[in-house]
Structure 1
Amino acid sequence: MNYTLNQLKIFLKVTQTGSITKAAEELNLTQPAVSIQLKNFQDQFEIPLTEVVGRQLYVTDFGKEIAVTAEQILEGVNTLNYKTHAHKGQLTGRLKLSIVSTGKYVMPYFLSDFLKLHPGIELAMDVTNKAKVIESLENNEVDFSLVSVLPESLAIDYVKLMQNKLFLVTNRAMELNKGSYNNTVFEKLAIIYREQGSATRLVMERFIQENKIPVLKKMELTSNEAVKQAVIAGLGSSIMPLIGIKNELETGELQIIPVKKFPIKTHWHLIWLKNKKFSSAASSYLNYIRQEKDNIIHNKFHWFENY
């Protein structure tokens, strides 16, 4: 046996995703690179680890046993790394977060300096929709979650990070009148929605229902980026968080339709389960956020107040 840690990591990811393509995406590798390493790993065993039926990859029973061992080995390696850093007096461990998809424009700025201060900390951050974010928090799979709408069904604590503003936006082709519009402007627009489970979708629907606005729903898309590109292409308009459209507003690809009662304002919150037992890494991060969040907002998001 002469397998490498990289081969163990790749094989484990393939078993977790059930796909060479998905494993390559999550590992930021090319599909051929994953296939080659998987083959090199398989060549060290006389019993098949995987099999392909039709076009679907399956992990054999023997492969599942090897995957369990691979995970244990990799966890052991991580423990060795953490202990080495700890011996040097460095803060170590894993910091686990789940964030809503538009949070990817926010969360990195609240992490970068902390991780530079503590290079022994490993970050695991899942970017998904609100429903899955809350599920991972409820299952105690993460230390913190970033949301713009607080969950009502969980006992949580939180730190309010910064304001979230949502505007009605369209592409550059629409000619806008001077002054602001009233809600009748929605009657002339095809509105693009985020998918069910999205916090942006929830905020949109609440606003539309509370104000009894008639809306022509054009389509439903599964990411903020997809909605943005659809609006730019002229497929419709949408209510979008300012945080994700800064560059497009500056280049003129998107424009804000000035509507009364807009922007819709919420707040980004860093949340965690009440009575959560924090690791040293998570506890240090929470203290850092409480002390530095105002400075981060001032230094990184000063442009926000121009809208």
Structure 2
Amino acid sequence: MQIFQEVARHLSYTRAAESLNLTQPAVFTQVRQLEDQVGMALIERLGRRLFLTEAGEVVLRSARDLLGELEQMEMRLADLSGMARGRLRIGIVSTAKYDIPRRLGEFCRAHPGIDVSLTVGNREELLGRFAENEDDLYILGTPPEGLDAESHRFAENPLVMVAPPDHRLAGKPVQPTDLATEAFVMREQGSGTRIAAERWFKQQGIEPLVRMELGANEAIKQAVMAGLGLSVLSRGSALLELEQGYLTELALEDFPLLRHWHVAWPQGKRLSVGALAFLDILFGKGCAPVPKALATGKAASTR
């Protein structure tokens, strides 16, 4: 099941073998043996590409459930024996990488036996992983929409408009109308920061002149410092540059845009020992929200 899951994830015997530290023939043989046991083809090749069959999709869903239950059983048994161990998988939007690693450091010091896997992506990528239940917890700027999710706000995430320190608008009050002729460097479409910024511009009746789209905050900061345009960023992602004077925060009406960080997981998911311990880091021990799947005899926390 583990081998089949990796092949289904990569749709490649070679890449699955590399991730599992096995040979490609060994991986291929195991999948064939699983197909023989099931009595149906699970993977088909069309040209040079692999695709899951309908039976393969069914087996993949069951494999995820089965392996997830086994992993949780191991962690619960380890917790009962006082030897907390296991694995914690977290998916975070790229802007959260300036805050979450610090919290993970605290977590790892408190729980050295739990291995942590961190996946960083934009909002659309994270929602794709969410839909497939690939991680234990997800850190997002906006709760998932259109998905059965349990989400909780745990920290503020103010968005600011930044400029190079020698910009004509630096150091003085700025009105929205002052931005009508300014060029902007923006995150890619689908980014939570981009969505929030566009919503604000629309409320002001302004169509921003987007000179450049970049998929990384680091690249955006460098572009702004180079004078290529203004940008809207999470204050946390630009804190160092703001403190050292490489960027300046514009005194813009309605800014900062107050947003929040949310932690989310699929509705009804039974969280692992590691996930529950990380919620204690986010909210404080005794203050973490109780997952509805674990809330036996007591109400779940308010979203």
| Counterpart contact for 1:85–1:120, Cα < 8 Å | no
**Higher helix proportion:** 1
Question: Out of 129, 151, 157, which is 1:136 matched to?
Answer: 129
Question: 8 Å contact 2:211–2:229 — kept in the other structure?
Answer: yes
> Post-superposition shift, 1:66?
6.9
Q: Indicate which of 67, 71, 89 corresponds to 1:96.
A: 89
Aligned length: 243
Describe the shift of the 1:248–1:124 C-alpha distance in structure 2 as closer, same or farther (beyond 3 A).
Answer: same
Following TM superposition, by how much is the alpha carbon of 1:230 offset from its aligned partner in structure 2, in angstroms?
0.9
Q: Is 1:158–1:270's contact at 8 Å kept on the other side of the alignment?
A: yes
Is 1:184 aligned to 2:177, yes or no? yes
Tell me which of 283, 287, 290 is aligned to 2:283: 290
Distance 1:251 1:118, change over 3 A: same
* Equivalent of 1:65 in 3, 12, 28: 28
| In 2: Cα distance, 1:267 partner to 1:242 partner | 12
Gap runs ≥5 in structure 2:
1-5, 34-66, 288-303
The ranges of structure 1 where at least 4 consecutive aligned residues each deviate by more than 6 angstroms after the TM superposition are 66-69, 81-88
Partner of 1:146: 139
Query: Compared with structure 1, are the counterparts of its residues 64 and 199 closer, same or farther at alpha carbon in structure 2 (3 Å cutoff)?
Result: same
**Correspondence for 2:267:** 274
1:173-223 per-position Cα deviation (integer Å, ceiling 9, x unaligned)? 314365311012212311111111111111111111121113211011111
Instruction: Calculate the aligned-residue CA RMSD, in Å.
Output: 3.5
CA contact (8 A) 2:220 2:231 kept: yes
User: In 1, Cα distance between the equivalents of 2:89 and 2:224?
Assistant: 33
Q: What is the TM-score with the length of structure 1 in the denominator?
A: 0.68
TM-score (norm 2): 0.69
In 2: Cα distance, 1:288 partner to 1:178 partner: 38
Shift of 1:104: 0.3
Q: How does 1:149-168 map to 2 (within 5 A)?
A: 149-168=142-161
3-state secondary structure, aligned to 1:231:
helix
Q: Deviations over 1:90-149 (max 9, x none)?
A: 111111111000000111232222221111101111000001111111211111100111
Q: Distance between the aligned counterparts of 2:197 and 2:263, measured in 1?
A: 21
Superposition pairs of residues 113-124 of structure 1, within 5 angstroms: 113-124=106-117
Q: Measured at CA, do residues 258 and 169 of structure 1 come closer, stay the same or move farther in structure 2, by a change above 3 Å?
A: same
Is residue 161–residue 293 contact of structure 1 (8 Å, CA) maintained in 2?
A: no
Please give the alpha-carbon distance, in whole angstroms, between the structure 1 residues aligned to 2:253 and 2:143.
25
CA deviations 1:44-67 (Å, max 9, x no partner) are xxxxx5xxxxxxxxxxxx375279
SS in 1 for 2:184: strand
Show structure 1 runs of 5+ residues with no match: 1-11, 28-37, 43-48, 50-61, 70-74, 295-307
